[in-house]
Structure 1
Amino acid sequence: MTRTSPDSCPGVLRLHQAADGPLARVRVPGGRLEAQQLQALAEAAHELGDGNIELTSRANVQLRRVRDATELTARLETAGLLPSHTHERVRNIVASPLAGRVGSRADVHQLVPALDAGLLAAPRLADLPGRVLFTLDDGRGDVSGLGGDIGVHAVDADEFAVLLAGLDTGIRVSATDAVDVMLAAAHGFLDLSSGQWRLHEIENGVERLTDLLGLAARADLLKIAAIQDIPIGWLTQDNGLVSLGAGVRLGSLPARTAEFIAAVERPVFLTPWRSLVLADLEEWPAEQVVRVLAPMGLIFDANSPWLLVSACAGQPGCAKSLTDVRADVGAAVDSGRIQPDSATFNSDAPHSELVLPQPDPTSSDTPSAPVFEAGEVTVGERQHWSGCARRCGRPRGAVTDVVATPDGYRVD
């Protein structure tokens, strides 16, 4: 597959002209934000944007309705969130949020700075498409199933499976070599690409890139599945401290709430499920954080119906959307029409039960499918609401699609 247009992923230096105004996407390698960085984002969202920080499915952040792009650039540079003007859009690195703290085989967060530095140090890698995704999984399988282009998955503390296009290649490398192999794979992607945005779009891309790496497969293949395993609530770390997993309604974090989180002065890890983890707390401060932030809308209850839903931008943010999807989702949750099934949140369930074929986002609406008014939609499992048939932002794995049509919503 050869693209006919260049990758148009937004960044900070190249904004996306959304229907509601300019949108900036800020890369956050590994999802880690220091307190002062979160504070800088909160101030920028309040003073330069629409007052919210949007969390993305790659553990990055977005600011909408940006009024002064030059000022935003300066602020992010000062905060250390824009270390390069040439490579800013290629720093798409997702890591297991709880790695090194709660029940992981390896602390993959230790690899993030080296991988990021390696990307920034290679001028050629600035040519990577902004869609290319690097994944670092600590062995629990939470991010390997995201379908990254280039990834490693911990088999034990010092051995990693090499993943390409979300598939195990059978290649195993040490922790010491993991970053070098991922960077070599990034160069190999450019060698093979003729305009493609993702590795799976290159004909025989996995096999050809494996050959370029020159590393032999020597292990049975891991089964990689897309799972929904949002870390929510009180999470006791291996060292006795506490992490707090917090859901964010539809991934939109108000700037004022972000300021309160930053005031705790602990590292924050964004997750690919549009939630966050506040790490390294003593027990008493952790209790106070929950008392303050839960009334502000952060979700610490793993059975909250808000954790079942995701949505595209909808109106007024997207000109292609047929309705205000997020308002309709909120009404469905508030009215009790979305009820969580406890099995959805059972992280001990076999991951294979959560694997479903992904729909074709370009497929046309089915004329015979029943259509419902927004107030009639009732779904009891994980679901994604879309303002049109493109289904933007749809998460991987088992998801019921609630898709807007000119006549109402269709439930697939």
Structure 2
Amino acid sequence: MKLAVVGGGSTYTPELIDGFARLRDELPLTEIALIDPDESRLELISGMARRMLAHAGHPARVVATSSVEEGVSGARAVLFQLRVGGQAARDVDETLPLRCGCVGQETTGAGGLAKALRTVPVVLAIADEVRRSAPGAWIVDFTNPVGIVTRALLDAGHRAIGLCNVAIGFQRRFAAMLGVPPSRVSLGHVGLNHLTWERSVHLDGADVLPSLLSSHLREIADDVGLRPALIERLGAVPSYYLRYFYAHDAVVEEQRAKPSRAAEVAAMEARLLRLYADPSVVTKPALLGERGGAFYSEAAVALIASLLGDRGDVQVVNVRNGDTLPFLDAEAVIEVPATVSAAGAAPLPVAPVEPLYGGLIAHVSAYETLALEAALHGGADRVRDALLAHPLIGQDAVAEELAGLLLEANRTFLPWTVS
């Protein structure tokens, strides 16, 4: 079985390879194609991948190529994990909004819009090549902003499902608090990508969230960066991305006082690449755990195994809304538990969503629709409309200023900005 990874030169990739090696019985791969335009990074990462697989006794061969056509040809699944513009563009996404008093984050707010504008056209072009060279292959999208990118893929008729590691991270943390295997824990996870709440935590079918909040409230609050009193009042656990909404002004002040996360990651990546170049390094470095993407490999393996093996199990993924959340358009992409089989992912029924959450979900979903329009069709007016619609921006003067700054900073990636 062949699997292709678009963005295979990422420093994330050894995390994937580690998962493929450990979970070989779940996903028996014979070939892994790493695809990346940066040939120097690709050489380092593919060499590391080969050493890791050999050390683990895994028989799969690793192919490294800058050609999407060559890499995806014959693949049954293709993972998207690309970053258009690299960490340099991410640094702009995280610092530019601060000039206007807005949160600087690579997937949320103005930074997320900038990333969508750069990313959607590239992803769609690659997906078209997947359709030509690997007809029938599933596309699993880990490329942010996952909700917008997944909707772009689905709207274009691709066999695609979006994946995020937030839910599996919560599942693992709650299981550790309970002292049980993760397989016994399931989540009442609801919302949009990077805008979700855990409204229940089921252990063998019984909701234990109230007892978790009673016994681990401070730990949970610290994990998501919010006040314990807020978590207690909500009776639910917001993802750490909700901190950008619930503590916006405090986050802006924190971000202004320290280097961007992009700068930290760039330095970390330089260290990781030096480790990957060392032929004596044959296992995933501990440093990679600080890079982000925890449990990404487990989530990816489980999803691909279910799609290709028709397992019909339940996983949290990004899928079409349909009538799952009746206050959203059917075409919207939501992040909820779904039954995953060879036919794709079918969302499970969701209990009515409280207005406290539903209002914010609807607001951000409307922004995502406008953001996708801007990414697909360009135009400064569309960019301003998307910014104006975002609950973290929402003011005319701020949207106007941010649009100008954002478009100027991304001219290299947006040919329609050139008059």
Q: TM-score, normalised by structure 1?
A: 0.26
Higher relative contact order (CA closer than 8 Å, sequence separation 6+): 2
